[in-house]
Amino acid sequence: MTRKINVGIKDIGRAVGVSMMTVSRALRGVEGVSPAMRAEILRMAEVMDYRPNRTARSLASARSSLIGISIPTLFSDVFPEILDGMRATLSHAGFDTVIDTTDYDRTREAAWVERMLDWNAAGLVLSGIDHAPEMRDHLRALQIPTLEIWDVCDDPIDICVGVDHHAAGEMLGRHLHACGYRRPAFVSVPEGRDRRADKRLAGLRASFATAGVAEMVVERVDRRAAFVAGAIGTEALLKRPGPRPDVIAYLNDHMAFGGLSVCEGLALPVPQAVGIAGFNGLELNTVLPRPITTVRTPLNAMGVTGARNLVARMNGAVVARSIVLPTRLQEGDTTCAVDVSAA
């Protein structure tokens, strides 16, 4: 091992016989170095096992290669899937990603963003479009490239890529109503926790209301594991006094599956006695003995698109402020065979 401790660009420069500035340029791929010299420097850097000091680089250039990514939780299939989509693009572009989980707490998110700014982060990725107002203002003022992902609006902090959750809710609602269901219910998380959940519910409500069905029962469960939450919510729903819902929509497919399991356990015919529908079209749904009706959201593609746009944005390109990805209704076996005449 010829590995000296802490080889710096100065050492490389000395070895090659040029100034450290030339080395710096060569290593960064900046122009101003002849191809021959660049090759020689790169070779020597390799030989000497040079490792750039990112800290020094960040300090001198007032910009780091860190990208902060904030997501509500890792206990979900949604965010890991989005992260997975972003991964390749960001790492190819040479960025290091610092991930934070906020547990749906805006204050925590804001504090963490400030911390990332202390690191001279090159960019930020935030989940959704609902954030602490001061944080919004701060980021806007600082002009930090910021991607809001998963949800969309007309006026993002910087740029956003996501789906229209309200429209997704409406789409599912229209389908369920067309199936003949008239006593809809929704199983979700505690109110205010997840804005996307509320939007889906609002969309469902809107389409049912338009069709003349005003009432929608909502059961909220505070359980991290989605399958569990769906099961618990469904049991609670079925135990309620009053007419039993004839269709239950869930915040996502995992929850819907939990609910479906409960119904099957109670020998409640699905979709005749009760319809079941989810959201997101998660991989789970592709092998279920009974595919669940759902609204597919392009999670991975969202990550890819978002990351690409963010990188382009950081390179100074002009990109669309807001990109709405399409969702698609995917009919399964858990809705539609309802006996309308009996209702």
- List contacts with DNA (CB under 7 A): 6, 8-10, 13, 17-22, 24, 27-28, 30-35, 37, 52-53, 56-57, 59-62
**Of the two residues 241 and 316, which places its CB atom closer to DNA in the complex?**
316
Residue 323 half-sphere exposure toward CB, CA atoms < 13 A: 21
| Cα angle value 282/286/291 (rounded, 5°) | 100
Question: Which residues lie closer than 8 Å to 106 by C-beta, 6 or more apart?
Answer: 130, 131, 132, 135
Across the beta sheet with 275-277, the strand order is: 217-220, 184-188, 247-250, 275-277
Contacts of 164 (CB under 8 A, 6+ apart): 152, 324, 327
330 touching its own copies, by CB under 8 A: no
Choose between 238 and 262: whose C-beta lies nearer to its own copies: 262
Owner of token pair 């618990």: 232
CB 252 within 8 A of CB 78: yes
Report the DSSP pairing between strands 322-325 and 66-71: unpaired
Site string for its own copies, 132-171 (x = CB under 8 A): ----------------------------------------
- Among 13-21, 188-196, 286-294, 331-339, the segment contacting its own copies (CB under 8 A): 286-294
Instruction: Compute the least distance from the CB of residue 24 to DNA, in Å.
Output: 3
Q: Please say which residue, 37 or 111, places its beta carbon nearer to DNA.
A: 37
Among 184, 258, 275, 278, which residue sits at the site for its own copies (rule: CB under 8 A)? 258
Beta strands 66-71 and 146-151 are unpaired
Under the binding rule (CB under 8 A), the answer on residue 220 touching its own copies is no
Cβ 331 to DNA shortest distance, Å = 54
C-alpha closest to that of 222 among 262, 187, 258, 190: 190
Residue 287 interacts with which of its own copies, DNA, none, CB < 5 to 8 Å by class = its own copies
Task: Give me 226's structure tokens.
Answer: 């989605």
State which of residues 4, 10, 43, 51 lies at the interface with its own copies (CB under 8 A). Answer: 51
Query: Does 114 participate in binding its own copies (rule CB under 8 A)?
Result: yes
What residue 282 binds from its own copies, DNA, none (CB within 5 to 8 A, per partner kind)?
A: its own copies
Is residue 47 close enough to count as binding its own copies by CB under 8 A?
Answer: no
Tokens of 257: 């599956």
Q: Which does 83 bind (CB under 5 to 8 A by kind): DNA, its own copies, none?
A: its own copies
What is the β-pairing status of strands 294-296 and 328-330?
Answer: antiparallel
DSSP single-letter state for residue 283: G
The residues that touch its own copies, with contacts defined as CB under 8 A, are 51-56, 58-59, 64, 74-75, 77, 80-81, 83-84, 87, 96-101, 114-115, 117-120, 224-225, 227-228, 231-232, 258, 261-262, 265, 282-284, 286-289
